[in-house]
Structure 1
């Protein structure tokens, strides 16, 4: 199966970035050259797809960080341009693709909620409470639909910022909706993408970019949720939503990939899978759930991770899916991607 190597996590830029609520987007503001260098490091490590430093970027949270509205929009667009700069000065003859990284609504909240999914109204039933009970379920279908609409507006307004800058928009090859946990957010993303195509059509522009939704599986008990999310991503009783091009898993332990794949295979019929690509970019390292922290890295972690991921990608059914994008998420750096690329080259994986 043809494999395109994706980059790794931009959260590895440094502790000051990791402590910012904007994560890697903070470096777009403070140290743009560091973003370009990070992209270049991944390209030189063998990545053929690089993601923009925009995962948590949204006008509202950038304004909360002190920017004015125009400055917030410009920062989001600048992040794409920095990826384009890296692509332009990278090794000659390389075909590098840029993916616009878009996290879920929960990534913009404090504390972040991409792994728990407790969204405040109107995007969810209630804000996360550290002391009381939490729920992700509405009492009525009307409230559920209203939340889908609110989330769709969040994603649509964010997309409008990027397509408003023609240079930035033209640089984007993929749109990557990442770390999605909630079924209602999957539906809202499809709705937002449909709104985007209608918006572009009204301006006599055609939407030609490929796009994917990747789900997150924080715990083994969440594996069964993957099938539900996949069904929401591909089915459309109304017949009005834009069909996605890719589907997969990110920000998840590499040990969970195979059972998650089984859930995807069950949900997506072969006739549809043959027109879609898979995306898998798991975390590096191991997370200690008792201590709520990452375990210290060892010298062989990158080798072990790359071998595991390459073996997993090698096991994929090439007759079922139309290619795969594989790379790293949190706790992966260029050394991980270099090792993965070496595995791909040695086994003709890519």
Structure 2
């Protein structure tokens, strides 16, 4: 049993929340295509501060700021290939150092680092991680993801977070790559939507099919959904749990919708009723619960309180 599976076996665990939201609040500009990944070079101290804020709020797993940090995206933005790989390692180091400093200040408490692996759609920077409107071969997916994956593995992250996956084909390719290239566990979380009376991945694949695949994939230690509106979490977890007995993961966004053309989040004033929803998610088998886009350490503290 590895550190991540041990953590989940010990009971429900709190995951962190959005990085870009907090960086923007601190005045860090977002890059048009790299988004928060640009801050690895421009504002590393702010990234460290966000990691620490989530740990102080109750998160026991924090993600590296590498969701949109790929060698292809970084080189497109002007970095040399070696610099791009170095920036991904730097992001992992920032998270690791934040955990080390926090645990030094909080003896007896433990936290882990998850290496964030976003989909090819995030690189496209056109909102297609919410639609799955792209198609690569297994070989092409592997070529796109391999250098980020290897950099995170080299830096010793505890688990790999394969997240916001809109396509089962891409999730399969990345999980296969992880199994071939590392000895680390992964969680896979999908982007899902309603279609008539059923739930499907963003590209139309049945959630049930994705859950059955996760059950059969040894490298997948946990499976679930992320960056969905909170109201989708319960039906998604029910459907996934019907086809796998693996621990479930959920970290919804704030309920706001992403406007890809305007490159902005459309406000939703309702907020998230964490006190009501978190116990429901726990009851459905969720063992890793956090927030995604537009959530903050304040939300993390409410999640932690609701988990008891």
Same fold (TM over 0.5): yes
Whether the 8 Å CA contact 2:85–2:147 is kept in 1: the answer is no
Shift of the alpha carbon at 1:218? 4.2
Give the Cα–Cα distance (whole angstroms) in 1 for the partners of residues 226 and 162 of structure 2: 10
SS in 2 for 1:111: coil
Whether the 8 Å CA contact 2:160–2:185 is kept in 1: the answer is yes
2:106 is the counterpart of 1:92: yes
Shift of the alpha carbon at 1:112? 3.7
Residues 213-268 of structure 1 show CA distances to partners (whole Å, capped at 9, x for unaligned) of 00111455572332122223333xxxxx6431111110001101111112112222
- Which has the higher Rg, Structure 1 or Structure 2? 1
Cα distance change of structure 1 residues 41 and 220 upon mapping to structure 2, 3 Å threshold: farther
1:63-82, aligned counterparts within 5 Å? 63-82=75-94
Cα RMSD of the aligned pairs, angstroms, is 2.3
Give the Cα–Cα distance (whole angstroms) in 1 for the partners of residues 302 and 29 of structure 2: 25
Give the Cα–Cα distance (whole angstroms) in 2 for the partners of residues 309 and 156 of structure 1: 36
Q: Look up the match of 1:161.
A: 151
What are structure 2's unaligned runs of at least 5 residues?
1-9, 201-205
Give the Cα–Cα distance (whole angstroms) in 2 for the partners of residues 215 and 46 of structure 1: 24
2:231 is the counterpart of 1:233: no
Give the Cα–Cα distance (whole angstroms) in 2 for the partners of residues 54 and 17 of structure 1: 16
2:276 is the counterpart of 1:308: yes
What are structure 1's unaligned runs of at least 5 residues?
124-146, 198-206, 236-240, 318-322, 346-350
Whether the 8 Å CA contact 2:37–2:68 is kept in 1: the answer is yes
Q: How many residues align?
A: 284
1:42-81, aligned counterparts within 5 Å? 42-81=54-93
Residues 100-151 of structure 1 show CA distances to partners (whole Å, capped at 9, x for unaligned) of 010011111142411111226xx1xxxxxxxxxxxxxxxxxxxxxxx12221
SS in 1 for 2:141: helix
Shift of the alpha carbon at 1:19? 4.6
Q: Look up the match of 1:127.
A: none
2:45 is the counterpart of 1:33: yes
Give the Cα–Cα distance (whole angstroms) in 2 for the partners of residues 76 and 293 of structure 1: 26
Whether the 8 Å CA contact 2:208–2:239 is kept in 1: the answer is yes
Whether the 8 Å CA contact 2:70–2:145 is kept in 1: the answer is no
Cα distance change of structure 1 residues 71 and 293 upon mapping to structure 2, 3 Å threshold: closer
Give the Cα–Cα distance (whole angstroms) in 1 for the partners of residues 152 and 291 of structure 2: 24
